[in-house]
Amino acid sequence: AQSVTQPDIHITVSEGASLELRCNYSYGATPYLFWYVQSPGQGLQLLLKYFSGDTLVQGIKGFEAEFKRSQSSFNLRKPSVHWSDAAEYFCAVALTGGFKTIFGAGTRLFVKA
């Protein structure tokens, strides 16, 4: 069955430090992959997505993610974290040809001064 795993429930990073959030997926076909961010009390907003082409994708707010087929991973990165990046981050995979998206459990990011 298809699944998305985010191994880290929460991560704490100092402001200005780099960030990497991990995401692994299980899906037989070529996946469509997404990262969404949820600020406290808000709905989800798309950060970036991958569906073909260059395996390094750029998103909003200075985020990027790299698709590695051999590792079934789609990790999210940011070189320098800002306090406003504190939020919950969800990795998701859309099933090809279907109408369903599977979300990971999320990683909550805390940013310390």
Partner 1 sequence: NAGVTQTPKFQVLKTGQSMTLQCAQDMNHEYMSWYRQDPGMGLRLIHYSVGAGITDQGEVPNGYNVSRSTTEDFPLRLLSAAPSQTSVYFCASSPVAGLSYNEQFFGPGTRLTVL
Residues in the chain: 113
Please give the Cα distance from 9 to 33 (Å, whole number).
19
At its nearest, how many Å lie between partner 1 and the CB of residue 80?
25
* Residue pair 47/36 in contact by the 8 Å Cβ criterion: yes
Backbone angles phi, psi at 78, to 5 degrees: -150, 130
Residues 5-64 that bind partner 1 (CB under 8 A): 6, 9, 32, 34, 36, 41-46, 49, 51
* Identity of the residue, 44 or 76, whose beta carbon is nearer to partner 1 in the bound complex: 44
Instruction: Specify the residue for token string 């985010």.
Output: 6
CB of residue 94 vs partner 1: minimum separation in angstroms? 5
Half-sphere exposure of 71 (CA within 13 A, CB side): 11
Q: How far is the CB of 17 from partner 1 (least distance, A)?
A: 26
| Chain contacts with partner 1 (rule: CB under 8 A) | 4, 6, 9, 32, 34, 36, 41-46, 49, 51, 90, 94-106
